[in-house]
Amino acid sequence: MSNKDIVLAFSGGLDTSFCVPYLQERGWAVHTVFADTGGVDADERHFIEQRAAELGVDSHQTVDGGAAIWDGFVKPFVWAGEGYQGQYPLLVSDRYLIVDAALKRAAELGTQTVAHGCTGMGNDQVRFDLAIKSRGDYQILAPIREIQKEHTQTRAYEQAYLEARGFGVRAKQKSYTINENLLGLTMSGGEIDHWEVPGEGARGWCAPRSAWPTVALQVRLQFIEGVAVALDGNVMPGAALLAKLNALFAPYGVGRGVYTGDTVIGLKGRIVYEAPGLIALLAAHRALEDAVLTKQQNRFKPDVARKWVELVYEGFFNDPLKTDLEAFLKSSQAKVNGEVVLETSGGRVDAVAVRSPHLLNAKGATYAQSADWGVEEAEGFIKLFGMSSTLWAEVNR
């Protein structure tokens, strides 16, 4: 193949659609790759493929990434159990699997040049670039970063650029940047970026309160070594299980949030996110884990989890420290076996029942109800446990 071949990570959205004619007009033969990480239906997948054809790419591939995102991200993320800054469930983590698909296609074409549609202002450029650089000596082109050198209103410029060449722009792409995958959906742009109330158009999977079902939803999840393996008794692959949870909990509005956080490059970022299945999965896993891990495990594990989340968020997906931390997280899951019943009436989800052969129940004692120790033992424990504080109080009265 020609050394002018370039592989573009493609989603069919405004930014990556703009990249195609932009690169073509600079002499590149553009080969697009869409990594379907489970956030689009058959109609949207067809649209993306047709969009690539309409734009006149030299070739297009659609890659099924559902299994990869489950094994590569969902399992360790659920083990970690922490969102970025305590809230955001890392819905951007499919980017690393998109990089894998793009580099595989580059190897097939015999090119070392890849492109993405990330802006020069966001986090994704860091994730894409670092993930690519950690895999080899590649040339990376980022057309949106390039046009930002001359144009401050980049979205308007991209729209005008495409329309001038006869390519339409979907209405929702004119207002928001939308990303969907198996993990969930994120939206930014418009009033979201200006800390205003998200408009009616800023809604994806999660139903508004007025549309929530009137009957509560209950589901039962089974875990083996911290991995969800069955839903309501039906064993299924992880990606299919998460997709089913999305479908079940989205009508109840579970997993929707408005999040402001510290970006990799130092700006504040604000998004609307919707992750019904992932939030439900986290709630079930946390309830089971809290009941079977020791006090010391439950206290220490969040420190490891926060560091793992930071590495993934900031682009260090291939850093050896991430692998080291995952070894600990996996080890902590050896006894996280059992079933959890989740329930929602809308908006939030609760773990209402937990069953496991590894529940840390004391046979002769129940918290605040009964005990198999005497009053003197309790008083002695309290005296020794609080010795330092009571001594300080006595000395400094």
DSSP state of 197: P
CATH of domain 5-177: 3.40.50.620
321-335 tens-digit pLDDT: 999 999 999 999 999
Residue whose C-alpha is closest to residue 242's, from 252, 258, 227, 261:
227
85-105 tens-digit pLDDT: 999 999 989 999 999 999 999
Sorted by sequence, the CB contacts under 8 Å of residue 213 that are 6+ apart come out as 251, 252, 346
45-100 tens-digit pLDDT: 999 999 999 999 999 999 988 888 999 999 999 999 999 999 999 998 999 999 99
What pLDDT is recorded for position 167?
93
Residue whose C-alpha is closest to residue 285's, from 324, 345, 344, 332:
332
- Measured CA to CA, the distance from residue 8 to residue 118 in angstroms comes to 11
pTM passes above 0.85? yes
What pLDDT is recorded for position 140?
97
Ramachandran area for residue 236 (φ above 0: left; ψ -120 to 50: alpha; else beta):
beta
To 10 degrees, what angle do helices 154-164 and 14-24 make? 60
Give the helix ranges, DSSP H, for the chain.
14-24, 42-55, 66-69, 75-80, 95-109, 124-133, 143-147, 154-164, 171-175, 238-249, 276-292, 295-313, 320-332, 375-385, 387-395
Domain ranges of the chain: 5-177, 184-355, 363-397
208-228 tens-digit pLDDT: 999 999 999 999 999 999 999
State in words which class domain 184-355 has: alpha beta
* 46-56 per-residue burial string, b: 16 or more CB within 10 A, e: under 16: eebbebbeebe
DSSP H or E segment with residue 61:
strand 59-64
